[in-house]
Amino acid sequence: ASELFNDALQKDNTLIGPRYRLAQCAFAEGHKSQGRDYLISEAELAPEDTDALVSMGSMFLAIGDTDWAANCLLRAVDIDCANADAYYYLGLVSVVKGEAEDALEFFGHVLDSRPDHIPALRDSAIVYLAMGRLAGAAERIKKAMALDADDSQLKALERKIKLAQVIERITDFLAKYVPAHRWRG
């Protein structure tokens, strides 16, 4: 397959698509750096295909290149402002960058158009949990569990959220009724 795409590029170096396919081949063969180079050269051609941009963004994210991932995904959103997949991956980019509020905003855009998007529900619950915003985490995991109650990952996350809620209630109770000096070492 790589030979065919290379041949196509030799015939017309301005073609959009072959570099993307060559990147996929390079990643499949374990050549991360070469795959990244192909992806960058494809992205620089400014394709207008939202699915290709989302796919390239997810590939950049998979190799840890959040800047190029965000670039591709934001271009996809510019073309199709309702693209749930682009917003989902932008949420993941924000998580990787440690930008929790942005992640929640992007996941919210996904859920506005696709309220049954389990990965966005799950991942936003994780972000809420990490931020200590347990009500938001509980709300999102409840919706996800209603859609797929048998998912073991969702069940484990639900248990973590419930445990965090119990710990929060116990801590609040102790802080309220136990004199402050007993908490000091």
Domain ranges of the chain: 1-45, 56-114, 115-185
Question: Given a cut of 80, is residue 76 above it in pLDDT?
Answer: yes
Burial class (CB in 10 A: 0-12, 13-18, 19+), 180: exposed
Percent of the chain with pLDDT over 70: 88
CATH architecture of 56-114: Alpha Horseshoe (1.25)
Torsion of CA 26, 8, 67, 128, to 10 degrees: -70
For the stretch 80-108, pLDDT in tens is: 999 999 999 999 999 999 999 999 999 99
Q: Considering all CA atoms of the chain, what is the largest pairwise distance in Å, rounded to the nearest integer?
A: 80
Lowest mean pLDDT: which of 10-19, 88-97, 107-116? 10-19
Angle 107-113-118 (CA atoms, 0-180°, nearest 5)? 55
Residue with tokens 């996800």: 144
d(CA 157, CA 128): 12
What average pLDDT score do residues 43-62 get? 90
pLDDT of residue 35: 85
User: Which amino acid is present at 83?
Assistant: N
Burial class (CB in 10 A: 0-12, 13-18, 19+), 64: exposed
